[in-house]
Amino acid sequence: MGLLNRLDDPFEGGGIILGKVEDLLNWGRSKSDWYLHFGLACCAIEFMALNASHFDFMRFGTIPRTSPRQADFIMITGTVTLKMADRIKILYEQMSEPKYVISIGSCSNCGGPYWEHGYHVLKGIDRIIPVDVYVPGCPPRPEAMEEGMIKLQKLIREQALFNGKDRIEELEAKKALKI
């Protein structure tokens, strides 16, 4: 729970108001995430439940957009088949920078239950587009998706805007320092 409590506090790490411009910009981006929901299969239903009143995904400042141009991150929920894979690539390319990808559920992580005999299933969405956060589960609970969202917000918050380093490396480096 330690992790989550820290993430929950928006004024963590020196406070945004007094912080640097980078912090402010990152704060804005992390708190206002418009997403393109790429609903494919079972996970999409749980994702709909996540949008519903009990979980209320909009608490995180997320707003669904149907156009990839306006989306900040794309949520891939479900099994990606080979017939579908090209479309995801196109959609991802249409999104405007900065863009992120959350892969939700076993299927989009690695093919899930279909990884062994699924001749028509793409085994892992990361074979065609880079993935920022993997959420496991088949389907994941809505809370697990929320946790993935918090992880993504954390990633955006800790992103270095100006020195151009790869963000995952940056994060890893920070973690290495912490541990």
Nearest distance, CB of residue 29 and other proteins, angstroms: 5
Secondary structure of residue 73 in the 3-state scheme:
strand
Secondary structure of residue 158 in the 3-state scheme:
coil
Other residues' Cβ atoms within 10 Å of the Cβ of residue 102: 24
Nearest distance, CB of residue 176 and other proteins, angstroms: 10
Nearest distance, CB of residue 120 and other proteins, angstroms: 5
Please, which of residues 77-116 interact with other proteins by CB under 8 A?
Answer: 78-79, 81-88, 91, 94, 96-98, 106, 109-116
| C-alpha count within 13 angstroms, C-beta hemisphere, residue 10 | 12
Q: Does 169 bind other proteins (CB under 8 A)?
A: no
Nearest distance, CB of residue 69 and other proteins, angstroms: 4
Other residues' Cβ atoms within 10 Å of the Cβ of residue 80: 25
Q: How far apart are CA 75 and CA 127, in angstroms?
A: 16
Q: Does 158 bind other proteins (CB under 8 A)?
A: no
Q: Does 173 bind other proteins (CB under 8 A)?
A: no
The single residue among 23, 31, 160, 170 that binds other proteins, judged by CB under 8 A, is: 31
Scanning the structure block, which residue is given the tokens 């299927």? 107
Six token digits for residue 43: 């996970």
For residue 161, the Cα-to-chain-centroid distance in whole angstroms is 18
Nearer to other proteins, 49 or 160 (CB): 49
The single residue among 19, 23, 49, 170 that binds other proteins, judged by CB under 8 A, is: 49
